[in-house]
Every structure is written in C-alpha cells, then in structure tokens.
Structure 1
Amino acid sequence: MNQATTILDASQPQRPARTVFSSAAFHRIQLRHFILFDVLPALGTLAAFVSLRWLPLHVTDIVLFSVFWLATGLGLTVGYHRYFSHRAFTAARPVAYLLLVLGLMAARGPMISWVAMHRRHHELSDRDGDMHSPNLHGETLSGRMRGFIHAHLTWMIRHDYPNVARYVPDLLRNRDLMRLNRSYYFWVAFGLALPALIGGLVQWRWQGALTGFLWGGVVRIFVVEQTMSAINSLCHLVGTKAFARGDQSRNNVWLGFVTWGEAHHNNHHAFSNSAAFGLRWHELDPGFWFIRSLGILGLVWDIKLPQETKIISERRPGT
C-alpha cells in the first residue's frame, strides 16, 4: 500500500467499535455452559445430600470442600477480579498463572470473558446494558423478584457478549495468558478430578473417590457459583451504601467472610482499583489478607489502596 492510499484511508470516517455481540451461536454456548456448570452442579449437590444415607460425610470430604472452595474462590476474587479486571496489584508471572488456573477451576467461565463482562458491568452499573443488574425490572414486588432471579441466575442463559477487543485489549496481548485461558474446560475437569483422586488415595477406596468428587468438586462448584451470584443479586439490592456512586451497589458485612471479601461491594464500586474491599476493621476481607500475605513474601507488589483522607471525605454521613 503506497503513501497516497494510506492517507486516503485515514481520511475516511471510522465506524465506532461494537460494544457487544449477540448471535444464535453465542446463545447456544451460553445455554450449554449454564446447563453444564449451573444446572448439573445443582443436581449433583442434591444427589450428594441424598447419598449421605449410604455415603456418610468423611473428614476428608470436609477438608477437600473447604480447600477447593477457598482456592477457587481466591482464584476468582484475587485473580479474575482484583488482578485481571482491575489491576489492583502487580504479580510475579508464576503467581498470575496460578491465580488464572484457580479461577478457571471455579467453572465460572474463561477469564477473558469474565473480565470483559465485569468491566462492562462497571461501565454501566444498574443501567441499560448491565447484563446482570437486579434493578431494571420495575419497582413493584414482582419486579424486584424478577430482578433478583435474573441477577442471581437466569441472565447467564442468554445475554449479549462484550466485545473483548474493546474491553480487554491488555489481556489479549498476553499470549501465555490467552493460551491458558483457552484450556478452560481442561482446568474445570482437573478441578473435579483432583479432589476425587485425593479422596480415593486418602481413604483408599472407591467411595472416597466418589465423595471427593462430589464434595470437593460438584458441591464446591455449586457453592462458589451461588456465592458469586449473590454479589450480582443481593449486593445490588440489600445492604448499606457507604459511598454514593450513582448505582445500587451495597455493602453486606454479614456476607464479607464467606464471599472472600466480595460482599463489601459498594466499597469496591467506590474504589474499583483498590486491592482491599474491606475498608474498616470489621469488614472482613480474606481476599485482601491473601494479597497482603503474597506482598510480604515479595510475590506481588504495587498494591493499590485508596488514601484514608479520600475514604473519609467521600463516605456518606452516618455510614
């Protein structure tokens, strides 16, 4: 292409990049993912409780559930959310890869898709285009109920897909991350197989492998999904608003610990690049504790926190 052609092309009006895509192909993928990682884990969790009559809960099952719940939850809150979505800190390459793998094992979707959807959520929080807002279905009781169900569950069945070239260009440039991201289904399967293997080896019987698979894999996926969905639903409907940000994000202190700190959601929307979501001593934030521990070990650095004076000046009176 010669210089004249280049100048001519540059003078043409540029079409704005599309923000979202919607197609039958995308919707089929979304429905399949919903069935595989939302419907089936729910049924599997029911089966796990029914099977307690024949397969009593072993201490190994409790440990496996707890360890994999915590590990994959940290993969989401510290990895997918605070690191990849908001760059709240800088991580050594092995730590970044580990966080990505743990996030993939949580079965909440590939990291690239998750981050693109989350960045769009912040861009349009509780406004048209926010794909999982519970506040766009009317003010009546039935509207509130529809909004809750939509935000907690049904939005995943069918929704617009954000243009990743627009929302995550920084991540698309990292070939190693993209290669790992494409192995999503492998890591989900690994996250199911590993607790089954450990359970079988520890108990040295096939029942241990089965219950390890159920409690460390299937039930854990279901609980993690419910926990993350509560951020979309409850944390935009119920709780306190310490900071005015033009949306309905709320803090739920009573959910702080079991959501790895995610339930301090209004704090997060006020200071989205902060590595800490809990901004007061009583706002428990295991995700930040983990980040701080990695910082002490020198594995992460440049940990971003809002200035105390800014927190005080922007906090709503009486909160």
Structure 2
Amino acid sequence: MEVQNLESTKARQAMGTKGLSSRDRVRVTNDYFQKIYRRLSLITVLIPFIGTVFAIALLWYVPIGAVEVGLLVGMYALTILGVEVGFHRLFSHRAFETTTPVRVALAILGSMAAQGGVTFWVAHHRCHHQYTDLPNDPHSPHLHGEGIRGRLRGLWHSHLGWVLKGEIPNSMLFAKDMLRDPAIAKVNQWQQYWVILGLVIPAVIDGLISRTWMGVLLGLLWGGLVRVFLGQQVINATNSLCHVYGSRPFKSGDRSTNNLWLAIPSFGQSLHNNHHAFPSSAIVGLKWWQIDPGNWVVWILKATGLAWNVKMPSESQMEAKRAV
C-alpha cells in the first residue's frame, strides 16, 4: 500500500468521515468490541509489567545466569525482527517480496511480541502513515494541547495511552490485503496462541537446561515477560520519542525524527524520519553510519534468494527530499 502524500492526506482529513460507509470509516465504532479490546490491551500491557517487576525483585534471591540472559536477548531479537522486518517493512509497506514460509515465519515471530496480531498491527500502522501527526493518527504526540502539559499528555498518549484507549482500526480499509491472504489470515487467527508459545518456549528451554522448576520460572520471566515488556517500550518509543526528539534530515511532511540511540533495539525503526520520507524502502539506514539491523536481515534473505524486489530510494530521490 502506497501512503498518500501530505497534500492528499490533508484533503482527506478536511473531508472527515462524513458520508463514508461503515467499511470506509477509519475506526471500528462498535462499543462492545472496543470494550473487549480495552480489556485485552490492559492485560497485554499489565502482565509483562508485573512480570518485569517480579523478575527484578527476584534478583535479590535468585540471580540470573547466562541462560536467562541468552534467552532474553535471543527471544527479543527474534520477536523484534518479526515486528520490524515482518509486520513493518514486509506486510505494512511491501518493501520487498519473499516466500510464503518466510512470510509465515515472520508473522509468527512478530505475533510473539504481543503487540497485536499482524492484521491489527498493519491496519494501525497504515492509518498512522495516512494521517501522520494529523487528527485520525492513532498515536501522534502533537494533538493534545500546548505547553509542557500538552507535550506530556501527547507523549503519554503516543507511547501507551493509545494502546489502552481501545480504538480498533478498520482493517477492511487499511489491511484488506492481509484479510485476503490465506496464510497470513490463519496466522492472525491464532494470534493469542503465538503469544503463549513465545512465553512457553523460553520457560521450557530454561527448565530443560537447569532441570529445575525455578529454571522454568526464570525462563518464563526473562525470556518471556521481561522480553515482551522491553519490546513494547522500544517499539512504542518510536511512536512517542521519534515524533518529538531527534534529527530531521529529510522533508517528510510530518514531524518524524531519527534517533540513533534506539536503532539497535528497534532493529532500525527509530530511524523514523528516513522511514517516513521513504516509507516503501526496505532499507532504513540510508547512511553507512546509520545502524539498521533490519537491513542486515533483508540483505541476508536477498543473498540467499529468499527475498527479491527489495526497494530503496535512489540518490536523486534522497537528494530531492533532503532538508535544507
């Protein structure tokens, strides 16, 4: 899906949603579904947070070892890879093409991050691009008043408030291709089971290695709940911090920024101004010194013949959008 340019976005925004059919509205307005989603969102946010607090408190009694650190880093890398390379670059922006097994694997890994199913994530993200920093953007930090209070309210909303608000993007408008893809639709249908599997795998691995129930608990905590909590904060920081603080080397028509210090944990997603300037690019690190782990994964897939039609902007396209 190609996102509209700023002018067409503003024109559509000025029109609002009056006169649109229910399937063309930006969000689902069913109160029952919104109530269910708010409850699920609270559970998805609260349980990893409680698990992280418990894991930290448990350090006073049971220190973690190399196995727990390895599970935390390994599971984090795999699931954020699924979010950034899969949910974001492949499914949301069609920045490259790949085989069905790779698509399914990326969709499952992204689902394990507990940031919503692939269809929900894609619909939200495409809505964000179509209305970036304008009304109808689901998580802009710039629509909540002026001054320090308005800035703080905006940062809270863009980081976590939007998740808890219970708004459901219209998948028939923003992610119809996901609904029509049989393999991805099946992965999406099993979303809750992939989240559970992402918690069970590190618990089982640690339990088998340590041969203790304490190992099972530590694996669940560090490779599961702490990993989910950290992943949520890093990706949400792109919505909040990366629309307020950082550099803007390109004219993107919005207030997206680059933040190098988040580049590694976000797999390159924090190079957000680059991304908003060239949303269909599979490569976000456009300079040699911009760290983009997602780029490394895409190029490995391309080198092994598992990815093709990898999109990236030309030098002339980058020069045309370079900020003065």
Classify the TM-score, shorter chain. over 0.9
C-alpha contact (below 8 Å) 1:22/1:159 kept by paired residues: no
**In structure 2, distance between residues paired with 1:205 and 1:61:** 14
**In structure 1, distance between residues paired with 2:302 and 2:83:** 18
Q: Quick one: percent identity of the two aligned structures?
A: 41
The Cα of 1:34 is off from its aligned counterpart by: 2.1
AA of the residue aligned to 2:192: Y
Residues 47-196 of structure 1 correspond to what in structure 2 (within 5 A)? 47-196=54-203
C-alpha contact (below 8 Å) 2:75/2:223 kept by paired residues: yes
CA-based RMSD of the aligned residues comes to 1.2
Helix, strand or coil for the counterpart of 1:153? helix
**In structure 1, distance between residues paired with 2:26 and 2:149:** 31
2:25 aligns with 18
Say whether 1:259 aligns with 2:270: no
C-alpha contact (below 8 Å) 1:27/1:157 kept by paired residues: no
C-alpha contact (below 8 Å) 1:134/1:147 kept by paired residues: yes
1:38 aligns with 45
The Cα of 1:138 is off from its aligned counterpart by: 1.8
2:287 aligns with 280
- Paired residue for 2:317, among 310, 313, 316? 310
| Cα deviation 1:157-208 (Å, max 9, x = unaligned) | 1243222111112121112211111100000000000000000011111111
**Any gaps of 5 or more consecutive residues in structure 1?**
1-13
The Cα of 1:214 is off from its aligned counterpart by: 0.2
**In structure 2, distance between residues paired with 1:158 and 1:149:** 12
Bigger radius of gyration: 1
Say whether 1:249 aligns with 2:256: yes
**In structure 1, distance between residues paired with 2:246 and 2:20:** 42
TM-score, structure 1 as length reference: 0.93
C-alpha contact (below 8 Å) 1:37/1:221 kept by paired residues: no
1:233 aligns with 240
In the alignment of these two chains, the number of paired residues is 304
The answer to which of 201-210 and 75-84 deviates more is 201-210
